[in-house]
Amino acid sequence: MRDPPYLPFLDGPASLAPGLKPIPPESLIAPDTEAEAWLPEKRQIMRERRADVFVSSLPEAELLEAAARVTCHFPPSEEDWPTPLEAAAARVSDDLCLLQRGADGLWRLEAASLVAPTFWRLSEKAGQPLGGLHDPVPEANPGLVSRIARMFDALRPGQVLERFNWTVQAGPDRFTPSAAPLKALAAATAEADALDVLHLRVERQTVSKLPASGLLLFTIRIAVDPLRAALSTPGRVKAFQAAWDGTDPGLAEYKGWPAYERLVRAALGHLS
């Protein structure tokens, strides 16, 4: 059992704040900690369920620009994929999404290879503006979407921003367009088995602006690890409990955490 590559709960409670921080451009695609565990399954899903995980309304030249940005440090590939974006996505654990700014000033999701969605369906979000990509968050600041859009407007080519998002789920699945099966598994799990079923799910996201097209390139890497591995020291247990308890109840509800509260308490009890 590996030590998880990302432990964002160490930084405090989950938050609605964008939390975007600049990173070196060459770190857009980080060393691929998920390749062995995820890439074979990801490629299989990409071929067998293409209609569920790929969408594009963009010309090939713009997909080529994004693909080149992702794979610029890779040797040439001989694999055959229908589009350049899919060819690039097949080489990294990250999902790739492209947003375009419309004449109305709104950023819309216009292309994506999204194989590890965190409880949403690509078919329902394609073409949606930034504010429509997720369900409304209870008690969220109504200016949050506008604030993020202004950040994207101001982003210069060559800049790369990074953020982390995290949650808890039942089981290790990454292709999760719906949370319902995971919540059902949690409901059926005995408290004695909490540490065997609960997993930490982390999103590493980057955003950058492509120089030729002006498109926003989002990369989303999902890391899933047993909660037992994430909470391998007393300090981590303490930090996780503080982050879980300190997260705003509205945000916790939005993340679906009430479905896991019973098992999380049991897990923390086993580790105390």
pLDDT tens digits, one per residue of 20-47:
999 999 999 999 999 999 999 999 999 9
2 within domain boundaries: no
- CA 15 vs. chain centroid, Å, equals 15
3 within domain boundaries: no
What is the value of pTM for the model shown?
Answer: 0.94
Q: Provide the pLDDT for residue 134.
A: 57
Q: Provide the pLDDT for residue 1.
A: 87
Residue 224 main-chain phi, psi, to 5 deg: -120, 125
90 within domain boundaries: yes
Containing structural domain, residue 92: 8-271
Q: Provide the pLDDT for residue 7.
A: 98
Q: Provide the pLDDT for residue 113.
A: 98
Domain count, the chain: 1
76 within domain boundaries: yes
149 within domain boundaries: yes
Question: Distance between CA 70 and CA 223 in Å, rounded?
Answer: 19
In the predicted model, residues of the chain with pLDDT beneath 50 are none
Question: Distance between CA 96 and CA 68 in Å, rounded?
Answer: 12
Question: Distance between CA 22 and CA 163 in Å, rounded?
Answer: 9
224 within domain boundaries: yes
What number of residues does the chain have?
272
- Sequence-distant (≥ 6) Cβ neighbours of residue 170 within 8 angstroms: 182, 183, 185, 186, 189, 197, 198, 199, 260, 263
- Going by DSSP bridges, is the β-strand pair 160-170/21-23 parallel, antiparallel, or unpaired? antiparallel
Nearest to 83 by CA among 98, 63, 58, 99: 63
